[in-house]
A = this chain, B = another copy of it.
Amino acid sequence: MSDPAIRIALVTLGVEDLARASAFYEAMGLKRSRASQATIHFYDMDGVVLALFPNDMLAEDAGVPGEAHGFRRATLAWNVPDAAEVDSGFARVMAAGAVSLKLPYKTSWGGYVGHFADTEGHLWEIAHNPFFPLHANGAVSVPPPREGAKQ
């Protein structure tokens, strides 16, 4: 197909408290872009940009009602090179104000994963997945389709 494939350039997380959310992500090592403004903060994550933006403004932008309850129906995964870094990363996110959902554990598929929510309730996991190698910058890669595979 000659058209470009859909891709994720930015992930914008709705926040109840922008200062609180920014303090969390900055404690986790992100640097606020100078393009940030009073109501939106941008962070370059080397492959995807994270934006933090108030929930009500985000709903208005998307043209949808802003009421929301319960499960977020999406998770973000931070993959790290080994199980020890899952443990140390989990300790760091807790120290930065995250909410623990599942302490790191060995998964049925051979990984090691901890689950937490950020200060605004967004779901994250810290994962060591021995089957998905990491690039030098921490991005993960998955194998291409099988040759001749029917999608």
Contacts and interface: CB of A to CB of B under 8 A. Distances in A.
Nearest to A142: B33
A35 to B, nearest CB: 5
Contacts of A141: 44, 49
Given A74-B72, A142-B33, A46 B123 contact: no
Given A62-B125, A79-B10, A144-B44, A35 B71 contact: no
Nearest to A81: B4
A62 B11 contact: no
A31 B146 CA distance: 10
24 contacts: A6-B25, A6-B78, A8-B11, A8-B50, A9-B134, A10-B79, A12-B74, A12-B76, A32-B149, A32-B151, A33-B142, A33-B143, A35-B132, A35-B143, A44-B144, A47-B48, A49-B140, A49-B141, A55-B73, A58-B74, A64-B71, A66-B70, A69-B70, A74-B74
Interface of A: 1, 3-14, 22, 25-26, 28-35, 42-50, 55, 58-59, 61-80, 85, 88-89, 92-93, 101-102, 115, 120-125, 127, 131-132, 134, 138-146, 149, 151
